[in-house]
């Protein structure tokens, strides 16, 4: 299963530590291994149609007990309806094996699905439901009419009572009232008896349906429980945990569907079982981008946080792993530049690579930390809005709570105007226009965003091309909404400009920086009422 390089690698040095899988630059050996995997894929004619639809592949550089260097390859999920192919490492657990519990139980659940479908589609039941609805409406109409007649007769009797003193006539009116009420009860009884056979048959049908659905639900839950228990994952210390144990300490607790089937866990599992030392790892996308997502063929991507985050957190124990590069980026960065300040607010120019506000890692500094030091007497929440860590440009800061609330209200009412300068990877066909693509979080792969036309929040961007060169396109973005990663996704997605911003490692490919800069900010001063426009030109 181990592949030895066809390309000479003697001059390539091994890394000191294993790849940090959630933010990395591929090691040269991983790049070479990926190219050899791509060459292999191009020879597999039977797979071309499926591969063209898009799939994630991974490579793991390994060292044998004899100090030989090679690589393993894997794919995420299934390939051509199978989990096992000779060129790639096997799955952690092959749920497709014919005699395995998963396929057997899947057949039972499929049989239940068919029974449920037959019950739902039963023509007699559909006709009964229609007959029941029709008769119920007729009954409701006739009973309502009878009640109206009783009410009208009662009013007439009341009028007669006021004029009549004859006891015999009064008794007759009482008997009339009693008769009409009795007739109403008899009418209701007749309709109830007429509807009863239909209702009983429908109730019996619904009970059978609910019984089957309950059995299906229980079988599915039991199957999931057993399946996640079957995924027993190792780490470099030789410790083994199943998916339930791995996810037990997370917020979700229940493993997401497909956990353990990504390329990275497959690669590490095979290496540990066969006593191969993991050296470096990378994953790349091949084929079309998934609907709603931004994936570019041939580019490398980090492991997903939702499924692989907890799994790799276990499987990498015992390895010397690189630190999160994001924790190192801010070293040596210049402080934010204050371009405007008065007693109520200030505007700073944030350098690329600096957080707007502190993240989970307390050791990483941010604009907020700088402001707290600079404005030691400020009492407000301070930072009014945010820029991505990789984005440079203007940030608005309030010194009091009242000013902060006023400025946030301006953002909410969309009266604050912002413009950004960006460099795109390639030339685009239009010179100006609007992009309207709704955005939603990719919950299993945060902080990435996806296009979701059904559930996404509206996101609108105006753009205007400023200049086109051999390096790409210089463009002005004016966001009319303020969604997370709005400009980055609108630029990169195929339904947008289909041209990632240079240096966008989430939706394009890494460069020396993300070439996105918040250049201009227009707002109304919360105290003076003055319309203010502040600008700081991009340094690229």
Same domain, 493 and 529: yes
Domain extent for 281: 28-93+232-315
Same domain, 499 and 522: yes
pLDDT attached to residue 364: 65
What is the tens place of the pLDDT at every residue in 290-313?
Answer: 989 999 999 999 999 999 999 999
CA–CA dist 244, 59 (Å, integer):
26
Of the candidate ranges 4-13, 312-321, 326-335, 405-414, the one whose mean pLDDT is the lowest: 326-335
Torsions phi, psi for 32 (to 5 deg): -65, -45
Within a domain: 1: no
- Give the sign of the dihedral formed by CA 163, CA 167, CA 170, CA 176: negative
CA–CA dist 461, 447 (Å, integer):
20
Same domain, 481 and 529: yes
Extended beta strands in 189-292, E state? 232-234, 240-242, 277-286
CA–CA dist 288, 307 (Å, integer):
22
Same domain, 110 and 71: no
CA–CA dist 480, 436 (Å, integer):
10
Distance of CA 32 to the CA centre of its chain: 31
Within a domain: 491: yes
Within a domain: 3: no
> Which of 227, 248, 275 lies at the terminal end of a domain, its last residue?
227
What CATH number does residue 509 fall under? 3.30.2350.10
Q: Are strands 392-398 and 516-524 parallel, antiparallel or unpaired?
A: parallel
Within a domain: 10: no
CA–CA dist 278, 386 (Å, integer):
39
Task: Summarize the confidence of residues 353-367 as an average pLDDT.
Answer: 74
Task: Summarize the confidence of residues 395-406 as an average pLDDT.
Answer: 93
By CB atoms closer than 10 A (0-12, 13-18, 19+), residue 136 is middle
Task: Please indicate whether residue 337 or residue 163 has the higher confidence score (pLDDT).
Answer: 337
- Give the sign of the dihedral formed by CA 169, CA 173, CA 175, CA 179: positive
Of the candidate ranges 1-5, 195-199, 341-345, 470-474, the one whose mean pLDDT is the lowest: 470-474
Same domain, 72 and 111: no
pLDDT attached to residue 330: 59
Which H or E run contains 371? helix 367-374
Q: Are 415 and 364 in contact (CB under 8 A)?
A: no
Torsions phi, psi for 134 (to 5 deg): -65, -50
Buried b (16+ CB within 10 A) or exposed e, 244-272: eebbeeeeeeebeeebbbbbbbbbbbbbb
Same domain, 208 and 275: no
CA–CA dist 322, 279 (Å, integer):
11
Same domain, 156 and 239: no
pLDDT attached to residue 380: 67
> Which of 192, 210, 227 lies at the terminal end of a domain, its last residue?
227
pLDDT attached to residue 358: 79
Closest by CA position to 495, among listed 469, 470, 459:
459
Q: What is the DSSP string of 438-458?
A: -EEE-TTSTT-EEE-TTTPBP
CA–CA dist 421, 411 (Å, integer):
20
Q: What percent of the chain has pLDDT over 90?
A: 79
Q: What count of Cα atoms within 13 Å lies in the side-chain half-sphere of residue 177?
A: 14
Within a domain: 38: yes
pLDDT attached to residue 269: 98
CA–CA dist 514, 501 (Å, integer):
7
What is the tens place of the pLDDT at every residue in 206-235?
Answer: 999 999 999 999 999 899 889 999 999 999
State the chain's maximal CA–CA distance in angstroms.
123
Which H or E run contains 116? helix 101-121
Of the candidate ranges 46-55, 164-173, 314-323, the one whose mean pLDDT is the lowest: 164-173
What is the total residue count of the chain?
540
Same domain, 71 and 49: yes
376 pLDDT more than 70? no
Determine the number of helices (DSSP H) and then strands (DSSP E) in the chain.
Answer: 12, 17
Given the residues 99, 131, 369, 388, the one annotated as active site: 388
CA–CA dist 131, 19 (Å, integer):
67
CA–CA dist 258, 266 (Å, integer):
12
Within a domain: 259: yes
**Is residue 59 classed as helix, strand or coil in its secondary structure?**
strand
Number of structural domains found in the chain = 3
Same domain, 345 and 481: yes
pLDDT attached to residue 328: 63
Same domain, 203 and 67: no
Contacts of 195 (CB under 8 A, 6+ apart): 132, 135, 136, 139
CA–CA dist 246, 315 (Å, integer):
10
By CB atoms closer than 10 A (0-12, 13-18, 19+), residue 72 is buried
Task: Summarize the confidence of residues 424-443 as an average pLDDT.
Answer: 95
Within a domain: 172: yes
Same domain, 504 and 447: yes
CA–CA dist 3, 290 (Å, integer):
29
Same domain, 379 and 490: yes
Residue 306 DSSP code = T
What is the tens place of the pLDDT at every residue in 107-141?
Answer: 999 999 999 999 999 999 999 999 999 999 999 99
Q: Are 4 and 255 in contact (CB under 8 A)?
A: no
Report the phi/psi class of residue 57: left, alpha or beta, with left for phi > 0 and alpha for psi in -120 to 50. Answer: beta
Extended beta strands in 6-157, E state? 55-63, 69-75
Distance of CA 69 to the CA centre of its chain: 37
> Which of 189, 204, 227 lies at the terminal end of a domain, its last residue?
227
Averaged pLDDT score across all residues of the chain = 92
Assign 329 a pLDDT band (cuts: 50, 70, 90): low
Within a domain: 8: no
pTM as predicted: 0.80
Q: Tell me how far CA of residue 167 lies from CA of 161, 450, 476, in angstroms.
A: 10, 83, 95
Whether 369 sits among the annotated catalytic residues: the reply is no
């Amino acid at each position: 299963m181990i592949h030895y390089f066809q390309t000479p690698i003697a001059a390539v040095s091994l890394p000191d530590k294993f790849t940090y899988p959630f933010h990395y630059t591929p090691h040269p050996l991983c790049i070479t291994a990926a190219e050899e995997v791509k060459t292999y894929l191009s020879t597999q004619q039977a797979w071309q149609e499926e591969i063209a639809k898009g799939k994630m592949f991974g490579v793991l550089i390994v060292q044998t007990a004899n100090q030989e260097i090679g690589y393993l390859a894997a794919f995420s999920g299934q390939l051509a309806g199978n989990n096992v192919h000779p060129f790639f490492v096997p799955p952690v657990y092959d749920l497709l094996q014919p005699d395995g519990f998963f396929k057997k139980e899947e057949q039972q659940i499929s049989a239940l699905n068919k029974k449920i479908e037959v019950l739902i589609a039963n023509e007699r039941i559909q006709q009964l439901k229609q007959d029941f609805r029709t008769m119920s409406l007729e009954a409701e109409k006739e009973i309502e009419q009878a009640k109206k007649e009783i009410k009208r007769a009662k009013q007439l009797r009341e009028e007669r009572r006021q004029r009549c003193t004859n006891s015999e006539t009064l008794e007759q009116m009482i008997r009339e009232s009693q008769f009409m009420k009795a007739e109403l009860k008899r009418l209701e009884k007749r309709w109830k008896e007429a509807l009863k056979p239909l209702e009983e048959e429908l109730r019996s049908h619904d009970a059978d349906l609910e019984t089957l659905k309950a059995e299906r639900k229980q079988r599915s839950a039991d199957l999931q429980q057993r399946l996640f228990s079957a995924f027993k994952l190792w780490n470099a210390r030789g410790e083994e945990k199943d998916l339930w144990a791995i996810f037990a300490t997370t917020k979700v607790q229940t493993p997401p569907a497909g956990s353990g089937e990504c390329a990275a866990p497959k690669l590490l599992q095979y290496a540990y079982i066969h006593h191969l030392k993991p050296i470096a790892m990378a994953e790349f996308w091949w084929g079309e981008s998934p609907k709603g997502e931004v994936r570019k063929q041939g580019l490398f991507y980090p492991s997903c946080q939702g499924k692989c985050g907890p799994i790799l957190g276990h499987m990498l124990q015992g390895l010397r792993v690189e630190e999160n590069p994001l924790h190192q980026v801010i070293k040596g960065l210049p402080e934010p530049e204050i371009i405007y300040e008065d007693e109520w607010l200030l505007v700073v120019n944030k350098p690329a690579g600096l957080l707007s506000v502190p993240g989970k890692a307390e050791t990483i500094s941010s604009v907020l930390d700088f402001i707290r030091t600079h404005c030691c007497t400020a009492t407000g929440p301070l930072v009014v809005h945010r820029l991505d860590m990789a984005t440079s440009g203007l940030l608005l800061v309030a010194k009091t709570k009242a000013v902060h609330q006023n400025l946030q209200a301006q953002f909410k009412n969309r009266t604050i105007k912002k413009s950004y300068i960006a460099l795109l990877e390639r030339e685009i066909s239009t010179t100006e226009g609007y992009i309207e693509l709704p955005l939603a979080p990719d919950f299993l792969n945060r902080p990435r965003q996806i296009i979701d036309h059904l559930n996404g929040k509206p996101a609108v961007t105006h753009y205007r091309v400023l200049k086109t060169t051999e390096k790409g396109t210089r463009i002005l973005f004016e966001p009319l909404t303020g969604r997370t990663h709005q400009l980055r996704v609108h630029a990169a997605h195929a339904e947008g400009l289909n041209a990632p911003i240079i240096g966008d490692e989430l939706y394009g490919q890494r460069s020396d920086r993300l070439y996105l800069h918040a250049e201009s900010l227009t707002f109304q001063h919360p105290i003076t009422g003055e319309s203010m426009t502040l600008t700081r030109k991009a340094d690229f």
